[in-house]
Structure 1
Amino acid sequence: MRPLLIALAAIVTREALRFARQRSRFVSALVRPLVWLVVFAAGFRAALGLSIIPPYQTYITYETYIVPGLCGMILLFNGMQSSLSLVYDREMGSMRLLLTSPLPRWWLLFAKILAGTAVSVLQCYAFLGIAAAMGIKMPVMGYFYVLPALILGGVMLGALGVALSSFISQMENFAGVMNFVIFPTFFMSTALYPLWRMAESSMLLRDICAVNPFSHAVELIRFALYGQFNGMALLWTALASLVFLALALWGYDPGRGLMQRRG
């Protein structure tokens, strides 16, 4: 057990040091959701009326509705960026060397995902603090209840990024795949619009959003911020996390790095 904890601490420390040196990464992670919160929400407020839907007990502003979705945006973008660094590490040889160590492969990948999740959670709390300063406040206990939801959502999206990176050999290719995955995942979810609003325009779009794992991660965060438990969202987020972790484990070969390099 001790070697596993040492490896976990080393990987988390390395990710933290990299994050500390890249201050622009922290700023950019906050700029994206703040643009939606300040600019787009002001324009959509009048056009999008929101009914009383769980977990809300009264009518809410559009800015209040999208805060959980913007936390999900931070987790999504940071999960992909963390996986991009994994591609870089693999090209430079450090990750390949790590994967050939005697430690279990699944633990090394999980440690990498957990390290990226820790950075994402820190960014989410910074965003929630800025939103509170702007007058968009959640119940006080919600800031504590949301921590497990943020961690689980971060692990799910980090595992998705790692699974994608296992089949991509060059950083340039992964950057293109990131855009192909991030934007459909984000926009076809409940991050910006409730399901009933999407159903008014397209039932197909509504069904796609309903099965999107990112939607369930957002709803898990949304309910947790108001001190409520969403069992269905928890179940599907946990299942998606296990599936993505299994794909990541299957995709990485401990001796050579990528499955596509076999043979």
Structure 2
Amino acid sequence: MEWKVGELARQTGLTVRALHHYERIGLLEPSERTAGGHRLYDEADVARLYRIVTLRGLGLSLESVRTALDGELPLADLLRERLTQVDQQLDALRLTRSRLLLLADGERAHNSADLLALMEEAHTMDQKMGEYFSAEQLQAMQERRNEVGEEAVAAVEQEWPVLMAKVQAEIDAGTDPADPRAQALASRWMELVASFHGGDSALRDSLYRMQAENAEALAQNYGGPTPQMLSFIQHAQNTTP
């Protein structure tokens, strides 16, 4: 059997323009033409077209589809590459979902003005994170968050304010950083920090640098530890037996 371009377009749900484009880029060329120059596609052409449609449906680019069908690179390799891209997109969507939930459920999100202010703060924080962490590090942090699970992450997030309040209470009481109470607080502090960087020294160093250079702003705008708290914990760490 043979199909003209219009007939093939109707059968596949593609446009004639799309089929012409596939021909221009060498992805699908009609096997024959009529005496009048009209394109004719045979069964092999149609089979190739359905492979193209299938691979495009998986999100492969036209160039990747051509590479796979022409045997220039194993299809399995291209699919694994696409799978990595999909995983990254899923991570990005999960992060977006978390932000949407946070913004929608925030205490200040009762009117449009407050919600826009929260969104602006989130955007500013994203930009700040980008100054200190590479794209790979941000991806690793998101993957670690997914592995740990939202419930465990929420538990850590809830513990931070309590721990900071205990540290501040010891500071106010004039507790020596070498005191066992201070040592215990410092130990737990470092455990929570480690849950963030997961033992990655580069990630840990980026975190410390961001914290040191933005301590006042983080404490004031995001409820982070004050420079005084950080100094107390550092002294307690330095005096650990």
Which interval holds the TM-score relative to the shorter structure? under 0.3
Whichever of the two has the greater Rg, that structure is 2
What is the TM-score with the length of structure 1 in the denominator? 0.24
What is the TM-score with the length of structure 2 in the denominator? 0.26
